[in-house]
A = this chain, B = another copy of it.
């Protein structure tokens, strides 16, 4: 798999090119390279290496007699083999702690996280709300609003509360209380992912009275069905997950990095669907994913890269968060920030 033609020095040259280009935003030439990094060879040697790297598609020359610029393939190699995530400074680490520790509820955690990430990386930050399906039921509440309307409230252990109103045939308070108790016994504390199966059982057994001490108090099947159906809908519907955004202003700072304009990028960022796709499938917590240029699959985003990480409680990934910026970005730094924030948010969620 390794390209045998790339010996140690050539890789070093590629790394130097990426680093310099990211720093200066200008094509980098052979002389500048030997000066800034202490490669103990002459510019001419570097030129030979560059010619080879270009042949292999890792770098590219905007026009004859210009310096070289990394290609997407070059960045990819850089990220995969030539760098490690850069650990944050103590000050940054402290800033994360201080800022996130003040969060008062889930909304606040998410909103603080996204702003923090944007500020830390000076780029666009994206945070997905903890997914319902990964979290567990803390409590289900049934509130009768009138004789035939029930409000269904679902509280999860990530602190999210969802409610909706259900129309049912008349049901009396006593039955409702019984139902509430049984329902909580059945699904309380269980993963949302397990709930559909459990509800199916519940809908089958409950009306038959099999779960009750006094079968005479079994509620009407139709009411139970309606409630279960609504509960299921809530869970499924919420899987269409919410995403929040911050730092779009940072895009403007990189105006020159985008071939035409930042308009298509801003447009893409307004589409929830696009954002969700960018964050991608849930990965293990603190496992970084980097998508470079075309890899992210949207034409409007060919000159952007995305760095994402799962976050969650312990081993469970509850959702994804990440950062979007120009392909020419500080990968080690960004990866460090994303990883650190993901880890810390996870820890906060554990306490809650």
Contact = CB atoms under 8 A, between A and B. Distances in A.
Interface of A: 139, 141, 143, 145, 151, 153, 161, 163, 246-249, 251-253, 255, 261-264, 266-267, 269-270
Contacts of A145: 139, 141
A119 to B, nearest CB: 11
Contacts of A270: 246-249
Contacts of A264: 249
A249 B261 CA distance: 10
Chain A contact residues: over half helix, strand or loop, or mixed? Answer: mixed
Contacts of A262: 252
B139 A141 contact: no
A261 B267 contact: no
Contact of A143 (B143, B246, B253, B267): B143
A25 to B, nearest CB: 16
A249 B271 CA distance: 11
Contacts of A267: 249
A262 B258 CA distance: 14
21 contacts: A141-B143, A141-B151, A151-B153, A153-B153, A161-B163, A163-B163, A246-B270, A248-B248, A248-B266, A249-B263, A249-B264, A249-B266, A249-B269, A249-B270, A251-B266, A252-B261, A252-B262, A252-B263, A252-B266, A253-B261, A253-B263
Copies in the complex: 2
Contacts of A251: 266
A86 to B, nearest CB: 26
Contacts of A151: 141, 153
Contacts of A139: 145
Nearest to A141: B143
B261 A255 contact: yes
Contacts of A248: 248, 266, 270
Contacts of A252: 261-263, 266
A106 to B, nearest CB: 13
Contacts of A266: 248-249, 251-252
A184 B139 CA distance: 25
Nearest to A263: B252
Contacts of A255: 261
A198 to B, nearest CB: 21
Nearest to A138: B145
A250 B56 CA distance: 40
Given A143-B153, A248-B270, A249-B269, 9 more contacts: A139-B145, A141-B143, A141-B145, A163-B163, A247-B270, A252-B261, A252-B262, A253-B261, A253-B263
A264 B85 CA distance: 31
A264 B255 CA distance: 13
